[in-house]
Structure 1
């Protein structure tokens, strides 16, 4: 417990009369952070503010935290540590979701690229305003639980969890972890909760928004085969034919068939919510059951166990992700607004690189002035742009680029 509760910058003991644990304090720090509030207007799949129904990064993070806390508590993890990981896991995501992430990665190549998960560590341990030079100064356990990909960028890998610039604090976070890239149990719980939340919920949002229709999947074998191919290519190591059986099982479920002809009415919305609840509960319970079958029912945490998710459940989760990809993301990516989003972020980075530190926020301007070289200054500009909300990015672009042009 002592090493897990350590902080990068030691803090004096606090006695506010509440008797809070270090991990409860971590949770409060994330909830009260500016980065967490900004998630309210950052894109999940649909552009934030474009409709009242779809999730934003904030509502998604709250849902991941709830699923993480419930699943972790059933396994014996400290509930606040897994809660913190769920709340914090997307703090590094930039405006416009994964579309914005790709745009920033392209322009950030001279300073090591951009990745939302690596940015999350940077926000938590460097950028948030709580302790100078240490961000929120969370405990080692909470930071480790928030590291979905505990390794630096490597050739041939798209996902990574730390920039070279943050290697020192990352090494401190990982002190005591087994050799290699093994994730702690709490990070695995958060990662599966994230998979469950965005696979099930993105399909729910897609059905409600009219992007996802299940009737063609029920009626057309060719469409089912195409979906399996998409899921196999993007989200699963399973071959297409292995996913086909899992899809048949999923589509045969009465809660899924009940929304095949969704019309947006009250009864249809109730059926849709029931599908979401049943699938989420099933995916969580299967992981808890398989893990306790392997390790027993005694509480486990940190590196005492690995989360076990049954193969069939992983396949069904991948298929739901495939639905969101095939019917929602590709449809949205074809829209002119998606191209415009990338242009906005690219041009913002370009203009701020030329005109910094004058137009940087007061917290970023001193970091830019203290940077040792062009790559470090570019990283500060990327930090600034990544911190913006969707609406903020559009407003900054209008002021600095469009109006100036």
Structure 2
């Protein structure tokens, strides 16, 4: 098991010792698990919305995706010698900053938030964990969020650099149009989190979280696409459909891949006996679908685990892990290229049969319009149209950008359904100023 020192277990705001029978990372996991931000993910769509499917197979939400990601990451972390509670905390928290309507909502909020520096779901994760999800208050009355350990917060940093607009010497920043983990006004805590870490280097735990996320959503979104009827079991037997999936996978997820390479890998993957020949949602079909899901997850995880052990010289010893001497930034998770491309192809299947549907595009357009209008409506009535916990940020903001950021924080906290309800009530004039309690 990797050793985690006082630096790793430090908190932004020092706290008195807790229960000696609970480790620091166990406390982190509990804080995320009991947070309102995690609960809200239950009402945020993953890919297939509940309205698209009726039956025993309930489609994933952001919450169930996060729970499944956490199970995958925890097991991988344990096998590779990392603290399983630390990795599970990162997996549970990796999506808490996502706004309503998923990545489509993220793009709409980024446009709305242009005057205050933009919006990025990963940066919103950090903002929420260190500021908006209030558990600990500093001596001067500011929120320290959940006040997680340095190692836990760093493990959530999938893109450990600041927004392109940051111009602070010594702080790495993203290129234009690329994701990042810190807004300009969250740089103080970001610097504290990254203290001693090499620029641009993901911690080993963050890399496990990232791969667990890829594995979970590529496999489970495929399962939801089949169960919801958007994808028929026979669709992928059509050579033209396979080529279309390969083209979309290359465009969206694997731009460095050669089309012929993708086609060959896809053909080999589909030739595996684990694929169901049909799916009519009967008991045998449901069991076959679960076997497919389990087999793919095991395939992707074992591949990364074996390659990582081999890279660090521990493959020869059964059950061996990455060396204890390898700290949080001293080792890398090794995922073979073929495995990454297999994962990208599964994402391409969902992209083609779910995200590229005409009705899906029409829904996305309506969602973007709703978020833009909701921003105008909330700003027009603020601070009364903000929840009480967010009003001080609006009232004490030094400028228009700060006030806009408070409005963006409010919208980002909403679920799909509550965003629609807020828009309906504000646009009709029936929504009174929100009151505490």
TM range (shorter): over 0.9
Local SS of the residue matching 2:294? helix
Task: Report deviation, 1:72.
Answer: 0.6
Task: Report deviation, 1:4.
Answer: 0.3
8 Å Cα contact 1:41/1:49 also seen in 2? no
Which residue number in structure 2 is paired with residue 212 of structure 1? 231
Q: How many matched pairs?
A: 399
Local SS of the residue matching 2:357? helix
1:168-187 to structure 2, matched below 5 A, reads: 168-178=188-198, 180-187=199-206
Which residue number in structure 1 is paired with residue 157 of structure 2? 147
Which residue number in structure 2 is paired with residue 365 of structure 1? 391
8 Å Cα contact 2:253/2:344 also seen in 1? yes
Moved more, 160-169 or 66-75: 160-169
Which residue number in structure 2 is paired with residue 324 of structure 1? 350
Within 2, Cα distance between the matches of 1:47 and 1:315?
Answer: 27
Task: Report deviation, 1:166.
Answer: 0.8
Local SS of the residue matching 2:344? helix
8 Å Cα contact 1:47/1:96 also seen in 2? no
| 1:120 and 2:125 correspond | yes
**Structure 1 counterpart of 2:24, from 14, 22, 25:** 22
Task: Report deviation, 1:50.
Answer: 5.2
8 Å Cα contact 2:222/2:346 also seen in 1? yes
Residues 313, 33 of structure 1: alpha-carbon distance in 2 compared, 3 angstrom cutoff: same
Q: CA offsets, 1:137-161, max 9 Å, x none?
A: 0000000000111112334333111
Within 1, Cα distance between the matches of 2:120 and 2:103?
Answer: 10
Which residue number in structure 2 is paired with residue 97 of structure 1? 102
8 Å Cα contact 2:131/2:145 also seen in 1? yes
Within 2, Cα distance between the matches of 1:40 and 1:301?
Answer: 34
| 1:285 and 2:302 correspond | yes
Within 1, Cα distance between the matches of 2:62 and 2:301?
Answer: 21
TM (norm. structure 2) is: 0.88
Which residue number in structure 2 is paired with residue 82 of structure 1? 87
8 Å Cα contact 2:66/2:94 also seen in 1? yes
| 1:224 and 2:228 correspond | no
Structure showing the higher helix proportion among its residues: 1
Which residue number in structure 2 is paired with residue 235 of structure 1? 253
TM (norm. structure 1) is: 0.95
Unaligned runs of 5+ in 1: none
Unaligned runs of 5+ in 2: 138-142, 165-174, 315-319, 432-437
Residues 394, 232 of structure 1: alpha-carbon distance in 2 compared, 3 angstrom cutoff: same
Residues 50, 32 of structure 1: alpha-carbon distance in 2 compared, 3 angstrom cutoff: farther
Residues 341, 50 of structure 1: alpha-carbon distance in 2 compared, 3 angstrom cutoff: same
Which residue number in structure 1 is paired with residue 180 of structure 2? 160
| 1:388 and 2:414 correspond | yes
Task: Report deviation, 1:227.
Answer: 1.2
**Structure 2 counterpart of 1:188, from 204, 207, 213:** 207
